[in-house]
Amino acid sequence: MRTRNWLVLGVALAALVSVPAIAQASTDAPPQHAAHEHAKFPMTAAEFKTKVDARTTKARAEMEKQAATLPADKARELRAEFDRGLVRVNQEVTRVGADGKVTKEEAKEVRKVAREAHIGRVGHHRGHHRAEGKDGGK
């Protein structure tokens, strides 16, 4: 069950983290990617918040999909953990956007907080299951 929780949080973080990842995209993208709009930095704090909110909405949807497969107490725990991480991410977004502009470096700071909070990171295990072995420690 614990692995599922981390799996759901991993998906949520991946969705949230991809916003700042857009900032790292090369401006000389191949023609097949020319239609995709890349983030331009510095951007306004409102625009950055909108992008983060959109990713957060997707991450929450993925988390809820996973929570639906869990027992009620585990689902409640998963939602609470997601919300705690989301609070930290939103605080960081507010901090970096305080001056009205968000730079590429500030976007990376938000991504770092999102990764630490495990928002949107499904499938990224931290290795805690390795000590148990394949048979679950039996």
Q: What is the pLDDT of residues 1-39, one digit of tens each?
A: 666 666 555 655 555 555 555 555 545 555 555 555 678
In a domain, 127, yes or no: no
Count structural domains, the chain: 1
CA–CA separation, 10 and 16 (whole Å): 10
Q: For 37-88, what is each residue's pLDDT tens digit? A: 678 999 999 999 999 999 999 999 999 999 999 999 999 999 999 999 999 9
In a domain, 123, yes or no: no
CA–CA separation, 79 and 51 (whole Å): 22
Full domain range(s) for residue 51: 2-24+40-117
- Phi, psi at 63, each rounded to 5°: -65, -40
CA–CA separation, 96 and 85 (whole Å): 17
In a domain, 136, yes or no: no
In a domain, 29, yes or no: no
**Which residues is 10 bridged to in the sheet?**
121
**pTM for this entry:** 0.61
In a domain, 135, yes or no: no
In a domain, 35, yes or no: no
In a domain, 33, yes or no: no
In a domain, 8, yes or no: yes
